Structure 1
Amino acid sequence: MIDDFDDALALANGPGRAGAAAEGPAGEAAGAPAPGPRRPTGRAAHETPGWEAARATAYRAARPLPPRRLPLDLALGHTLAAPLTALTDLPAFDTAAMDGWAVAGPGPWRLTGGQVLAGGPAAVPLTDGEAVPIATGARTPEGTTAVLRSEDGKVAEGQLHGPGMQPGANVRPRGQECRTGAELLPARTPLTPAALGLAAAAGYDQLTVRPRPRAEVLVLGDELLFRGLPQEGRIRDALGPMTAPWLAALGAQPLVTRRLGDDAEALREAIATSRADLIVTTGSTARGPVDHLRAILAELGAELLIGGVAVRPGHPMLLAELPGGVPLIGLPGNPLAAVSALLTLAEPLLCGLADRPAPAERHARLTSAVRGHPTDTRLVPVSCRELGEASPVTYAGPAMLRGIAAACALAVIPPGGAEAGAAVAVLGLPAT
């Protein structure tokens, strides 16, 4: 799950989104996969969509990545491209649910000698009045009517004594969990550690998946320092260290973070030669003297799908599609504005690339009134101290990270603001 705020949302509408750690490129095919059909966006790029419309456009604009087969140890965080069906009954045979004795008929029972261990050979069949020691998970001998727990039995003079038991007691019958061919998980399910364990138990060595979209981050701006203290009018780069991990938490596989300054030719070359499924830039989304991104996208023949969003902070964010079908998201340079763009555009786009359902909407009640923008949606960092409640945090200006570093979600404040007690949508933040 992507954040610990999930447990505190009493009004949550649907399951949380699964976060996944970044993994290396082992097992991945080189080069960008051939693009599939894009979902129609239904909106002209020159319009400035509202926040909800922008998220819907980003989701519809994604071309789902082609499926590929991966071994189980490389499938974590990817998405099932087809339903997971059982290749065997689970369990595949009757097994002991705990340590004790496999018994046949009513007691007392005479011990036959030997013992039955998990993974061991088939035991000699039992007849009425017989018992044999058995370990948890071991296949029960033919003729077994129940398993007597070790703490309930007592052996005296070669006989086992214990209470009477119903037939089948402490036995996991064959097919108790599922029968061969049963659907265990539907297509479009994110592969969590538990899902991989289920796939292994069901007999799989490989899975057909929609891969995690590979993302490349391009950090722009000559004013940025990458080590040491701010000095001589230059500031530390805050977006480079956080953007790739944030994309990973949203379901991407970050490939590289490049620092390009305000070099227009370097930016053009980086975009034109990228082999990622998604390019994310930081800064240069406005129209200042060294903001080259929009001009370069036009030179490259990119289609501008979203040129700005009616949201604060982050309204200059953009979404474009390059001629080869690869999407590019432009994050504004202010930190909180960049986070706003990640959750507004990158989250739904990554869901679309992986062919997952659009992000589920969640709600919480505000503990205090929040001032709104007259016409635009506001995204406000909030903490959660009580179940289902969201409290705005301080230090939440567009250029600040202090507030969001202490927050667990962004509250979606509609134009005009929201009163205390109002239920508002919330966007969970990565916890790791």
Structure 2
Amino acid sequence: MISIEQALKIVEQQEIERKTSDVDLDDSHGFYLSEKISSPFDLPSFDNSAMDGYAVSGIYDYYEIVGEIAAGDTSEKSLQSGEAMRIFTGAKIPSNTTAVVMQERTNEEDSVLHVDERISEGQHIRRQGNELALGETVFAPGHLISPASVGLIGSLGLNRVTVFKKPDVRIISTGNELIPPGESKSEGQIYESNSYALQSALNRFGFECREKTHIKDDFSAVKSGIAEYLDRSDVLLLSGGISVGDYDFVKQALEENGVTQLFYKIFQKPGKPLYFGRKENKFVFALPGNPASSLTCFYIHVLPLLQRFSGAAETGLQRLSIPISHEFEYGSERPIFLKAHVDNQTVSILNRQSSSMIHSMAMGNALVFFDGPKSVPEGEIVEVILI
């Protein structure tokens, strides 16, 4: 059995064969860039108006209005001292413009513009290259493409980007007692939920489950199912069958499929019987069957590997140090991840902490981590992991 820190280090130290792909800008959100993006031109590429108003030449109380410039007008226009042109947001500034005056600060009468404010040279003008200069680095490799990133990349005229491919992930759940939701349940049967939770967790962080299946507790079936799914996966997630019961065949089936064990069993609660293995450039996590254990292990140990595959420089979930809203006592020697809810900059540890109970995790949005026995008063700062 190893510590949480040792397990995380083993995951972090794995050499990963990252793959790249060109994707359409429309599909790029949530990917990490694999290549630098530099600005192909100055942004803005010309001086333009920051608002609707008037371009004026010189600083006077009134101007002669000599024309109008709409956004998208590509003609070359010029002002003489004392002249003004009606201009709209984004339109190209005529040469010899001193400033743009807001429409609300003016009065127009018989083609004469009267200005109701003191004019400052350069006001309300977006200067060429003010945001980005030609050749300037816009994004470095490893940048996570956000909606704003998509907008900026599009403003540079790029409709495709080169990104790190996300890993192919597949899920196998095991257990004779499990049946799919929607079927009639008999005494002794349980609805299978872990694969659904894991698939949703993948989606939550921008990943996709390519396939999932359920296999009964039969060694030959488990072995052949692992062989089939492992062949098509970068990361294979198994749920259940990894403990030491008579019908827990997953570990042996992985070994007979040529998977090398990197660790098995972690000194933590929940999620002690977690298995991590590798076969060439393919990785396997065999997760505990208890629902809360399965999701906790995904959040803490699986997600960082998936993020590394995707090109992320920093991995794992956001961690905070915030006060607890109530007294709490924990007596076990094992480090523990407790289901919790963060609200108004404090955290509350929820009831129903058993590894078989997922209701409290569904009601929560965080895990509180204690590295051993704790007795904390209300208001003490605790470590929180946002999920």
Residue number in structure 1 paired with 2:16: 63
Aligned with 2:47 (options 94, 102, 116): 94
Identity of aligned residues (%): 24
SS at match of 1:400: coil
SS at match of 1:112: strand
In the alignment, is residue 258 of structure 1 matched against residue 213 of structure 2? yes
Is 419-428 or 74-83 further displaced after alignment?
419-428
Q: Distance in 2 between matches of 1:68 and 1:210?
A: 6
Q: Distance in 1 between matches of 2:188 and 2:53?
A: 74
Q: CA 1:122–1:269 in 2, change beyond 3 Å: closer, same or farther?
A: farther
Q: Distance in 2 between matches of 1:232 and 1:120?
A: 75
Q: Distance in 2 between matches of 1:264 and 1:62?
A: 31
Aligned with 1:304 (options 253, 261, 268): 261
Deviation at 1:256, TM superposition (A): 1.9
2:194 and 2:239 in contact (8 A); partners too? yes
For 2:35, the aligned partner's letter is A
In the alignment, is residue 349 of structure 1 matched against residue 308 of structure 2? no
For 2:329, the aligned partner's letter is V
For 1:386, the aligned partner's letter is N
Deviation at 1:131, TM superposition (A): 1.3
1:62 and 1:327 in contact (8 A); partners too? no
Q: CA 1:50–1:423 in 2, change beyond 3 Å: closer, same or farther?
A: farther
Deviation at 1:207, TM superposition (A): 1.4
In the alignment, is residue 413 of structure 1 matched against residue 366 of structure 2? no
Deviation at 1:99, TM superposition (A): 0.4
For 1:345, the aligned partner's letter is H
> 1:144-196: CA deviations, max 9, x gaps?
11111111111112111113411111111111112122223332221111111
Residue number in structure 1 paired with 2:272: 315
Residue number in structure 2 paired with 1:219: 173
Residue number in structure 2 paired with 1:293: 250
Deviation at 1:311, TM superposition (A): 0.6
Deviation at 1:243, TM superposition (A): 0.7
For 1:365, the aligned partner's letter is P
In the alignment, is residue 201 of structure 1 matched against residue 155 of structure 2? yes
SS at match of 2:172: strand
1:364 and 1:423 in contact (8 A); partners too? yes
5+ residue gaps, structure 2:
none
> 1:317-339: CA deviations, max 9, x gaps?
111112x3111111111011101
Q: Distance in 2 between matches of 1:181 and 1:153?
A: 39
In the alignment, is residue 391 of structure 1 matched against residue 348 of structure 2? yes
Residue number in structure 1 paired with 2:202: 247
SS at match of 2:330: coil
> 1:256-289: CA deviations, max 9, x gaps?
2212232433333333233222111111111222
Q: Given the two structures, how large is their TM-score scaled by the length of structure 1?
A: 0.83
SS at match of 1:79: coil
Deviation at 1:102, TM superposition (A): 1.3
Residue number in structure 2 paired with 1:111: 65
Q: CA 1:203–1:370 in 2, change beyond 3 Å: closer, same or farther?
A: farther
5+ residue gaps, structure 1:
1-47
> 1:40-64: CA deviations, max 9, x gaps?
xxxxxxxx22112212222222515
Q: Distance in 2 between matches of 1:189 and 1:49?
A: 33
In the alignment, is residue 373 of structure 1 matched against residue 332 of structure 2? yes
In the alignment, is residue 428 of structure 1 matched against residue 381 of structure 2? no
Residue number in structure 1 paired with 2:284: 328
Q: CA 1:250–1:57 in 2, change beyond 3 Å: closer, same or farther?
A: farther
Deviation at 1:242, TM superposition (A): 1.1
Q: Distance in 2 between matches of 1:106 and 1:334?
A: 75
Aligned residues: 378
Q: Distance in 1 between matches of 2:380 and 2:9?
A: 24
> 1:371-392: CA deviations, max 9, x gaps?
0421x211101112331x2211
1:250 and 1:350 in contact (8 A); partners too? no
Higher strand share: 2
Residue number in structure 2 paired with 1:38: none
Q: Distance in 2 between matches of 1:80 and 1:161?
A: 51
Aligned with 1:154 (options 107, 128, 133): 107
Deviation at 1:418, TM superposition (A): 4.6
In the alignment, is residue 238 of structure 1 matched against residue 196 of structure 2? no
> 1:370-425: CA deviations, max 9, x gaps?
30421x211101112331x2211012211001111111101111122352344333
Q: CA 1:319–1:251 in 2, change beyond 3 Å: closer, same or farther?
A: farther
Deviation at 1:253, TM superposition (A): 2.3
Q: CA 1:230–1:312 in 2, change beyond 3 Å: closer, same or farther?
A: farther
Q: Distance in 2 between matches of 1:329 and 1:404?
A: 21
> 1:54-108: CA deviations, max 9, x gaps?
1222222251522222221121111111333222211111110000111111232
SS at match of 2:233: coil
The CA RMSD measured in Å over matched residues stands at 1.8
Q: Given the two structures, how large is their TM-score scaled by the length of structure 2?
A: 0.92
Q: Distance in 1 between matches of 2:219 and 2:80?
A: 84
2:197 and 2:295 in contact (8 A); partners too? no
1:64 and 1:354 in contact (8 A); partners too? no
1:102 and 1:141 in contact (8 A); partners too? yes
Residue number in structure 1 paired with 2:129: 175
Deviation at 1:229, TM superposition (A): 5.8
1:215 and 1:255 in contact (8 A); partners too? yes
SS at match of 2:143: coil
Deviation at 1:247, TM superposition (A): 1.6
Residue number in structure 2 paired with 1:4: none
> 1:311-366: CA deviations, max 9, x gaps?
111100111112x3111111111011101210221111112212312335432233
Q: Distance in 2 between matches of 1:250 and 1:146?
A: 47
SS at match of 1:59: helix
Q: Distance in 2 between matches of 1:417 and 1:62?
A: 37
Residue number in structure 2 paired with 1:32: none
Q: CA 1:314–1:208 in 2, change beyond 3 Å: closer, same or farther?
A: same
Q: CA 1:372–1:188 in 2, change beyond 3 Å: closer, same or farther?
A: farther
Q: Distance in 1 between matches of 2:352 and 2:96?
A: 71
